[in-house]
Amino acid sequence: MLFCQQAQTKSLREICGVLSCCLGKLHLLGLKKTPNKSTLSYANAHRPREMYQELFCQTLDVCKLVGTGKHRLFAYWNENHSIYITRLKKNADYTVIEERTVPQNRNIIADQLIQFNGSSDRRRCPHIMRKVVVWDKEQDHEIVLQINHPEFGATTISAFYKDRWQIELFLKGFNQNLNVKTFVRISENALSTRIWTELIGMLSIKNLQFKSRFRWSLSNMVAFFRWNLFTYRDLWEWIDDPFDVLSVTP
């Protein structure tokens, strides 16, 4: 199914046909023959989709960086043990419960524990929140952050928020390059399997982009990877220098 995602095949027949054409190279993976359509069909129907979901979740450690939200949403995340970092609204009404020690020689101005005021806000989100004030040297202004994690260092929280744009680009790339337009089977298990393998494939390519020294765009890397699926190259050398021409040994 990962091959189906990378090669953008649209049916079991295409998957088996393309793999059969490349059987000589598949021998390098220890495969003596390509799978039959019936084998793939049975796997799509019976192989537990939870296996792919678990694999994806193990591969991806999610740190949720979100925009400004409602108090009820903050409470929901707290109650479900989800970690978030967001900007505190300028007109937020709260009481400072505790002043924390600020690290020396850092860009941290304040680190406080707060609780929202107002009967409706307190009812929607009764939890203790954390407020971290960061000085942005580039823009020459303060950034006031809200987080629900009491143990992260204030400098770490600042670094998390600074990297939020990379996470946004990461999710944007997922949205632009996922190719779930056709399904090789229409059972519930097959549909879930296809979606999870798409996510695993995109995450793998994103990891290669991150490790590469070449200035890849994600869309270009997806296309180049698809065109070179059966090219016999050292993967790590290829992602650093994709246009290098190998010498031909007679």
Closest by Cα among 130, 185, 189, 183 to 161:
130
Distance CA 30, CA 26 (A): 7
* pLDDT for 65: 33
Amino acid at 231: T
Per run of 10 residues, the mean pLDDT along the chain (length 250 residues) is 66 73 66 76 76 68 40 68 79 89 89 86 80 88 86 85 74 67 62 76 81 84 77 83 66
* pLDDT for 73: 65
Element (H, E) at 154: helix 154-162
Closest by Cα among 161, 165, 184 to 173:
165
Q: How many CB atoms lie within 10 A of CB 15?
A: 20
* pLDDT for 89: 82
Distance CA 10, CA 13 (A): 8
Per-domain boundaries in the chain: 2-46+179-240, 65-162
The pTM (predicted TM-score) of the whole model is 0.44
CA dihedral in degrees (179, 181, 185, 186; nearest 10)? 130
Distance CA 5, CA 199 (A): 9
Torsion region of 105: left, alpha or beta (phi above 0 gives left; psi -120 to 50 gives alpha)? left
* pLDDT for 17: 72
* pLDDT for 187: 67
